[in-house]
Amino acid sequence: MDISNESKVLQQFVEMAPYIPMFIEEPVSVAITNRETFIYNQPCAELPVKCNLGVPFPDGNTPSLVMKSGERIVREVSEKVYGIPFKSYAIPLKENGRVVGCLMIAKSITVIKNSKEAITNLSDEIEQVTAAVNEIAEGVQKSSENNHEVYRLMGALLEETQKMNHILTAINKLSNSTKILGLNASIESARAGAAGRGFSVVAKEIERLSSSTTQSAKEIGDMLGSIEVQLNNISERSKETTDTFMQQAASLEEIAATMQNLNANVKVIDDYVQQL
């Protein structure tokens, strides 16, 4: 397009425009306008923005707003316009204090938009994982408390078993004493002869009862001993399980704290990306 009739400022910017992308690390499209039309357009492959050179731009679009305000205008353009979301920077070009046109630079924000979406998704996922970890931690804590209660009950049962052993010891002593009493009664009934025959029957019954009591006490003692061994085993396993639960709860707390820190870092990154 012939720009020989344009102001010197515009002509100079048109000559300089091809070099502008070299100063920017990412692909950009460059356009220049006078007060009414586009006089230069250099799109990039990543952002093929089309401008109709020499055709007046409509009132209300970015260049016309720059002409009226004389200020820089930054806008985000939806992907619905060119298929690619981008951010445009329009800078007024002045000559002798008068706005004679504007320089427009457009850069794709696809990566930024995708990053924002990824960060949002990541933040949501972190919150879900954190909630799940907290829920598991609560379950582990509850299981630990229940297991601790089982451990306490095992201890109480062991104490009751020991009390029963003391009772059996007393029964054995009583049985031995009864056995001795029966033996003495048998001796005395033998001395009494015919007169002591009835008493002899009672003495033998006492001895039989004493022997039966001793045998029953022994069987009960053996059963209590077996129960005590099993209770000790269960109590020990319960204690080990409680310790494991406590370790798991501590690990889950560390994971939850790490997830919270990660989420905080993600929010910092999100704040930075929002400013791009």
- Tens of pLDDT, residue by residue over 64-121, are 999 999 999 998 877 776 677 888 899 999 999 899 999 999 888 776 666 667 777 7
Of 36 and 167, more confident: 36
- Predicted confidence at residue 59, as pLDDT, reads 81
pTM for this entry: 0.48
- Predicted confidence at residue 178, as pLDDT, reads 67
Domains of the chain: 8-108 (3.30.450.20), 114-274 (1.10.287.950)
- Predicted confidence at residue 194, as pLDDT, reads 61
Whole-number mean pLDDT of the chain?
79
> What's the whole-number mean pLDDT along residues 145-169?
76
- DSSP states along 119-188: HHHHHHHHHHHHHHHHHHHHHHHHHHHHHHHHHHHHHHHHHHHHHHHHHHHHHHHHHHHHHHHHHHHHHH
In the chain, pLDDT over 90 holds for what percent of residues?
Answer: 18
Of 140 and 32, more confident: 32
Report d(CA 237, CA 152) in Å as an integer: 13
- Predicted confidence at residue 241, as pLDDT, reads 76
> What are 89's strand-pairing partners?
74, 105
- Taking only the tens place, the pLDDT of each residue in 185-229 is 666 666 666 655 565 666 677 667 767 777 777 777 777 777 777
Is residue 27 pLDDT above 80, yes or no? Answer: yes
CB-CB contact of 237 with 181 (8 Å): no
> What are 32's strand-pairing partners?
40, 103
Is residue 62 pLDDT above 60, yes or no? Answer: yes
Is residue 168 pLDDT above 60, yes or no? Answer: yes
Phi first, then psi: give them for residue 162, nearest 5 degrees: -65, -35
Report which residue type is found at 150.
Answer: V
